[in-house]
Amino acid sequence: MIIVAHGGAGWGKPRKKLLKTLERSLRAGYAILENGGSAIDAVMETIAIMEDSGQFNAGAGGNLQLDGVRRLDAALMDGRTLNCGSVIGLEGIRNPIKTARAVMKLPHKILTNIGAKRLAEAAELEPLAKPDEKALKRLEKFKKKGVDLTKFYEDYFSTVGAVALDRSGCVAAGSSTGGVALMLPGRVGDTPLIGSGIYAENSSGAVSCTGRGEDIIRMALAKEICMRMQDNSPEKAAKDSFKNLFKIEGQAGIISVNPKGKIAIIHTTGFMASGFADRKGVIVKDGFKRFAK
Ligand code: GLY
């Protein structure tokens, strides 16, 4: 049994407080596995704690789109059944990852904006307060400055995610994000796209990606790495896919676990708040293995 989580890849060193929250979320996820819970429950809980904290670009801390609205994305996938659930552009709900879980119970796999919100409300999920004055002022300041969007993509992409292997040998993957800073209203990244942001399949493993969503989508990165894991270690699978990512000047970080419990935590960026929990305890760092071009 093992759970791996990340709090976003990027170039800024993650704060200690953020790493502490990541550690707390991993402990909570591992406790679920230890008590015989499923990988999907552990992944959801780990991500929900990060969403609630407001310290990550997800849930309560999610980026605002250029019109000042927080539209959140999240997805979950169960490696046993390939069942999955995803929400895109969810407004006013605190835990997109729990909404993605609710989608898994439907015959559909993806719900957007108003439909996702109605489902969350029917499931009595907690509402999310509107962005505060401080967040709106910061957005206005950046808009006035006339920022270079490409530069922002370089500096500030981040997301949260988790993968787990449970006692019964099942794997699961999940991810949640507020997208990238100063994105156009309606922009969607890799996170809610099954095969791009996440993938899980019991015979190969589970993968969750972070980074510049546009690059990850072009590669269908999570599925590519997952399929490579059928014949390769998680680390080799990730590195081989990153070589392709470099061909499109891509930036990403990934976490993965295979059915034997071997993991990889690899990022092209300077940092990726990340860690894992297993029977020996919890390890959290501001980066693990950097794999640069
Ligand atoms: N990786 C998150 C996003 O691009 O939206």
pLDDT in tens, 229-285: 999 999 999 999 999 999 999 999 999 999 999 999 999 999 999 999 999 999 999
The confidence score (pLDDT) of residue 82 equals 98
* Residue type at 203 in one-letter notation: S
Using alpha carbons, select from 35, 22, 74 the residue that is nearest to residue 208: 74
The confidence score (pLDDT) of residue 155 equals 55
Residue 234 Cβ contacting ligand 1 at under 6 Å: no
Residue 213 Cβ contacting ligand 1 at under 6 Å: yes
Residue 157 Cβ contacting ligand 1 at under 6 Å: yes
Strand 263-267 with 84-90, pairing:
unpaired
pLDDT in tens, 58-77: 999 998 998 999 999 999 99
Q: Where are the beta strands (DSSP E) in the chain?
A: 2-10, 72-78, 84-90, 110-112, 160-165, 171-177, 198-201, 205-211, 252-257, 263-267, 271-278, 281-285, 289-290
In the chain, what are the domain boundaries? 2-290
For ligand 1, the distance from its centroid to the CA atom of residue 157, given in whole angstroms, is 6
Catalytic residues: 159
**157 has pLDDT over 80:** no
For ligand 1, the distance from its centroid to the CA atom of residue 30, given in whole angstroms, is 26
Number of Cα atoms under 13 Å in the Cβ half of residue 87:
34
Average pLDDT taken over every residue of the chain: 94
**127 has pLDDT over 80:** yes
pLDDT in tens, 66-110: 899 999 999 999 999 999 999 999 999 999 999 999 999 999 999
Phi, psi of 129, deg, nearest 5: -65, 155
Number of Cα atoms under 13 Å in the Cβ half of residue 260:
8
Beta bridge partners of 205: 201
Residue 65 Cβ contacting ligand 1 at under 6 Å: no
Average pLDDT value for residue range 203-224 = 96
Tell me the three state secondary structure of residue 189: coil
The whole-angstrom separation of Cα 235 and Cα 124 is 40
For ligand 1, the distance from its centroid to the CA atom of residue 37, given in whole angstroms, is 29
**What is the number of the ligand 1 atom nearest to the C-alpha of 211?**
1
For ligand 1, the distance from its centroid to the CA atom of residue 212, given in whole angstroms, is 6
Beta bridge partners of 208: 198, 255
**What is the number of the ligand 1 atom nearest to the C-alpha of 197?**
1
Residue 43's pLDDT band (cuts 50, 70, 90): very high
For ligand 1, the distance from its centroid to the CA atom of residue 174, given in whole angstroms, is 13
Task: Note the residue count of the chain.
Answer: 293
pLDDT in tens, 188-202: 999 999 999 999 999
The confidence score (pLDDT) of residue 138 equals 84
Task: Tell me the CATH number of domain 2-290, given options 3.60.20.30, 3.40.50.720, 1.10.287.70, 3.40.50.300.
Answer: 3.60.20.30
Residue 251 Cβ contacting ligand 1 at under 6 Å: no
Residue 89 Cβ contacting ligand 1 at under 6 Å: no
**What is the number of the ligand 1 atom nearest to the C-alpha of 179?**
5
Residue 189 Cβ contacting ligand 1 at under 6 Å: yes
Query: Which of 6, 177, 182, 183 has the most ligand 1 atoms within 8 A of CB, as the residue to mutate?
Result: 177
The confidence score (pLDDT) of residue 190 equals 96
**CA distances from residue 259 to 4, 40, 62, 267 in whole angstroms, order as listed:** 13, 14, 32, 22
Phi/psi region, residue 281 (left: phi>0; alpha: psi -120 to 50; beta: rest), is left
Residue 274 Cβ contacting ligand 1 at under 6 Å: no
The confidence score (pLDDT) of residue 156 equals 53
Residue 141's pLDDT band (cuts 50, 70, 90): confident
**152 has pLDDT over 60:** no
Among protein residues, the one whose CA lies closest to atom 4 of ligand 1: 213
The whole-angstrom separation of Cα 252 and Cα 245 is 8
Q: What pTM, to 2 d.p., does this model score?
A: 0.96
**148 has pLDDT over 80:** no
* Percent of the chain with pLDDT strictly greater than 70: 96
pLDDT in tens, 234-248: 999 999 999 999 999
**Using an 8 Å Cβ cutoff, are 32 and 48 in contact?**
no
For ligand 1, the distance from its centroid to the CA atom of residue 154, given in whole angstroms, is 12
